[in-house]
Amino acid sequence: MRPPVTMPMSPQPQETIANAAGATSMAPLLTGDEILYLDGVTVSFDGFRALNELSLIVEADALRAMIGPNGAGKTTMMDVITGKTKPDRGEVKFRGNVDLLRYDEAQIALLGIGRKFQKPSVFEGHSVFENLELAMAGSRGVWYSLFSRLNGEQRDRIDAQLEAVGLLDQRHGNAGALSHGQKQWLEISMLLMQEPELLMLDEPVAGMTDSETERTAELLHEIAKTHAVIVVEHDMEFVRALDCRVTVLHEGSVIAEGDMDAVQNNERVIEVYLGR
């Protein structure tokens, strides 16, 4: 369990702090179509800053890759966005003006932010179809789902999603029998059943075969046409295949952002990754 962290007092002092960071701060510029806005977000664990004045913008219907060495703060960043960890200070806004710091984890999920942890967590003893049925029921719960009948439209939606991830033929088989990659696709599909606006995935291709990894890049491109997607990943070939804007985190702050080539040629990034 994480230690409890205090809620920020009010937005005012944080702005002062963000401004005080001066020229070195990477304060984001607002464009008007951002789905996620972080400014000056700081999280300390016993005095150690896991996030240090983190500022970041993600546009609606965009695919964004987040990379950074171990301990850079990537998971902590997701914890803050999903309400699992409250920052010491900073702003975290969703869809322009929704202050995520005012909501808990369950409320944030309902607001439209879906998160996938690294390990697949599907209902192994249920069929692939039932997994999506359960996910669709969401807050109405398992009992509702198992004892109520889906209407035709809901069935079609599930089938369309299964087709999109190539699992239509497995729909009546147990989820437990799927390959690791297929389970990850099933879980991504389960998140989509709840119609999130923002999807966050922590290392989705870890442990996947090369062809599963390629397929996942295509899938995320497809999903990003209608959702904002943030992917934290270590696999650089996969990040290149995502062909999207890349944000590099180091010691709790953004040190570079741009396309893969720009980021790979960035002095600071080379320094951090090669330890020079």
Minimum Å distance from CB 73 to ligand ADP? 4
The helix (H) or strand (E) run that includes residue 199 is: strand 198-202
Tell me the residue length of the chain. Answer: 276
Smallest separation (angstroms) from Mg ion to the CB of 126: 29
Confirm or reject binding of residue 204 to ligand ADP (CB under 6 A): no
For 236, the token pair is 């650089």
Please choose which of Mg ion, ligand ADP, none residue 73 contacts, taking the beta carbon within 5 to 8 angstroms, the exact cut-off set by kind: ligand ADP
Q: Does 144 bind ligand ADP (CB under 6 A)?
A: no
Return the residues of window 32-61 that contact ligand ADP according to CB under 6 A: 45, 50
Asked if residue 118 binds Mg ion (CB under 5 A), the reply is: no
Position 44 contacts Mg ion (CB under 5 A): no
Asked if residues 88 and 62 have their Cβ atoms less than 8 Å apart, the reply is: no
> Given the complex with ligand ADP, which of 189 and 253 has the nearer CB atom?
253
Contact positions with Mg ion (CB under 5 A) in 55-74: 74
Cβ proximity to ligand ADP: between 193 and 232 the closer is 232
**Which option in Mg ion, ligand ADP, none does residue 118 bind, with CB closer than 5 to 8 A by kind?**
none
Sorted by sequence, the CB contacts under 8 Å of residue 48 that are 6+ apart come out as none
Two tokens at 132? 């999506």
Which residue type occupies 173? G
Contact 86, 7 (CB under 8 A): yes
CA-nearest of 156, 167, 152, 158 to 192 is 158
Asked if 117 touches ligand ADP (CB under 6 A), the answer is no
Q: Considering CB distances under 5 to 8 angstroms, the limit depending on partner class, which of Mg ion, ligand ADP, none binds residue 144?
A: none
Taking only Cα atoms into account, the Rg of the chain, rounded to an integer number of angstroms, comes to 19
Contact flag: residue 72 with ligand ADP (CB under 6 A): yes
Contact (CB, 8 A) for 243 and 77: no
The entry of ligand ADP, Mg ion, none that residue 97 binds, CB within 5 to 8 Å by partner kind: none
- Which residue in 54, 5, 9, 36 sits closest to 200, CA to CA? 36
Applying CB under 6 A, the residues found at the interface with ligand ADP are 2, 45, 50, 68, 70-76
